[in-house]
Structure formats: structure tokens, C-alpha cells
Structure 1
Amino acid sequence: MPTKSIKIVVEGGNVKPGPPLAPTLSQLGLNVGEVVKKLNEATSSFKGMTVPVTLEVDTSTKKYDIKVGIPTTTALLLKEVGASEPSGDPKNKKIGNLSLEQIVKVAIMKKPSLTAKSLKAAVKSIVGSARSIGITVENKDPKEVIKEIEEGKYNDLLSKYENQWNEVKE
């Protein structure tokens, strides 16, 4: 069965049936409206965010599989903090504050694309990303929060999410 892989980047829940997607789907003999509807359903949880998607199309049967990727760490953090773009000056201009629980949520979502071997390491990485785009964590400079994580201050909180972390497939 010959398959064709189409990699696209779409706005979650807002895929439009126009170029360059529509001509490509038409060439493969797929119903553009149906595919767009399914793409919107599959990406609806990432509404307004840029999401990588792979369409695996069996060219002989016209059956297809939609594989939704994970948005960037920056996109997830911006959504979490309710901002539209990163701070142009993260050192002096803050765009919001997140709780460590929100950071853990982002770390768990990103697990498949992270190289971190533990939840603690993943959280420290996400906290670092938050710092680089102007987000404070627990109303503090993220650098301070990373130190506190290393000192074990948040071990109880992290252990609450350890099972969720372990359940995510890499």
C-alpha cells in the first residue's frame, strides 16, 4: 500500500480549506472539506496555537491518519499565561506569572519531545523557557525557582504529578 506523508503546520482548531493544503489533498483524491473538519477536531485542544500535523495517506484506499504534534514550549507557556507574544525584553518587561503547577502541566504535555529523564529536570527546563520569554514563576524570578527546585522545596508538589509524568509515552 503506497502511503504519502504530508507534514503541515496549522492553527489549532482553525484549519481553512485553502492553499497549500486543498490542492495537495485534491491531488490525492481526498475530500478536502472532510479532512479539514477532522483536522479541526483533532487540533481543537490547541485552539489558537501553531500545531505541527502529519497526515499519513494511503493513496490506494484514500484512507488517512492524522497525527497531531505538540506545540512549541513557548506557545504552551503563552497560552497558559494568557499572552499573545513573548516579552521583547524579558529581563525588564514581564508578561505574566505562572504557578509551578501550570509549569508542571506544560512539562507533562511536552514530555514526548523533551530529552529530560525526570519530571524535575523537565520542570527546570520549562521554567528556564518561561524566564526567556518574560514570565515569572510563583511571583519570583525563574532562576530563583530553579534553585528552590534543586534544594527540594517543591518535592511534594512534583511527587503529586510523578504518576502522570510516568504514564506519558515518549
Structure 2
Amino acid sequence: MGKKITVEALVDGGKASSGPPIGPALGPTGVNMGLVIDTINKKTAGFKGLKVPVTIEVDSADRSFEITVKTPMTSSLLFKEAGIEKGSGEPNVEKVADLTIDQVCNVARMKRDDINSIAFENAVRTVLGTAQSCGLTVDGIEPKEMQEKIKSGEVKVKE
């Protein structure tokens, strides 16, 4: 087993290319660039239109590689659900979109492993915290209020 070379990059879902940042970093390793790019594009196809963090680990001895794909940032997933490109510059003053609790739950399902939350309810509350900082509302109310309603049991979330 040779030296491990690790490259971390942020790629467009399903649209990675051999250009920067991947190409220049992997070129000297001699790895099959086309195969690496194809693998990344297959693994990130479900995240079209989003920036996806990927880690490429290459064994310099046999030129084998392993690709790890993480989920996009929570805010990016929320923006996609809301149909907007960016959040509010002043989230406590300007609200830019309203999501349903079901949309928030969809994002929580995608991010659950990254959030390291055992209880789904906690993952939802974490995503609501991000929604708050992006200037989003949920079912017409502040995400903080929705967090309290979930905590008190007034609103039930389905896993």
C-alpha cells in the first residue's frame, strides 16, 4: 500500500469535470481521471444544481481511489426546497420564503447522518435553526416558534 493522497473539493452535482479543482490535484497521481469524474458524477447526480462536497482518496501505489460524497449544506437544500437562490441578508428583518414542515422534514432526512442526530425530531429542529438564520419561515411562523411547537408535542414530525 502506497501513500494516500486526499483531495477535497466542492463540485456541482452531476457536473464534475477534470478542470480545477479536481484535475490539477489528481493529475500527478496518475489515476484514471475519466473514471474518477464519471464516478463522482454518478454519485452526485441526485444533487443537480447544488454544490456537493466530495473527498477523493487515491492510493499512489496501485492508483486505486475511493470517493466519499457528503450532502450539500443545509442552507442549500433549504433554498432548493423554497425555490430561491439565496437567503436573507437580514434574517431577523427580511423573510425571503415560506416552507412547509414537510419540506423541512425532507431536508432533515437528507442531513440526518451528517447532523449525527439519533432522534429525527432533533434533526428537524437543527434544520429549523438553519432556516431561522437564512430568513425563512415555516408554515407561516418563525422557525424558532416551530421548534417550540415540536418540542412541546403540539406539532408532530413524521420520519
Question: Is the shorter-chain TM-score for this pair beyond 0.5, marking a shared fold?
Answer: yes
Deviation at 1:115, TM superposition (A): 4.4
Identity of aligned residues (%): 37
CA distance in 1: counterparts of 2:135 and 2:129, whole angstroms: 10
CA distance in 1: counterparts of 2:44 and 2:72, whole angstroms: 10
Asked if 1:9 corresponds to 2:10, the answer is: yes
Deviation at 1:100, TM superposition (A): 0.9
Instruction: Give the RMSD, CA atoms, in angstroms.
Output: 1.7
What letter corresponds to residue 97 of structure 2 in structure 1?
Answer: G
* Count of residues in correspondence between the two structures: 158
Asked if 1:47 corresponds to 2:19, the answer is: no
Residue matched to 1:128? 129
Structure 1 runs not aligned, ≥5 long: 162-170
Q: Is the 8 A contact 1:25 1:31 kept in 2?
A: no
Inter-CA distance 66–147: structure 2 relative to 1 (3 Å threshold): same
Structure 2 runs not aligned, ≥5 long: none
What letter corresponds to residue 125 of structure 2 in structure 1?
Answer: K
CA distance in 2: counterparts of 1:131 and 1:19, whole angstroms: 34
Residue matched to 1:73? 74
CA distance in 1: counterparts of 2:9 and 2:35, whole angstroms: 17
SS at match of 1:48: coil
Deviation at 1:54, TM superposition (A): 0.9
TM-score when scaled to structure 1?
A: 0.84
CA distance in 2: counterparts of 1:46 and 1:39, whole angstroms: 11
What letter corresponds to residue 93 of structure 2 in structure 1?
Answer: N
Question: C-alpha deviations, 1:110-145, integer Å up to 9, x for none?
Answer: 122224342112211211210111111012122221
CA distance in 2: counterparts of 1:85 and 1:78, whole angstroms: 6
Q: Is the 8 A contact 2:26 2:33 kept in 1?
A: yes
Residue matched to 2:152? 151
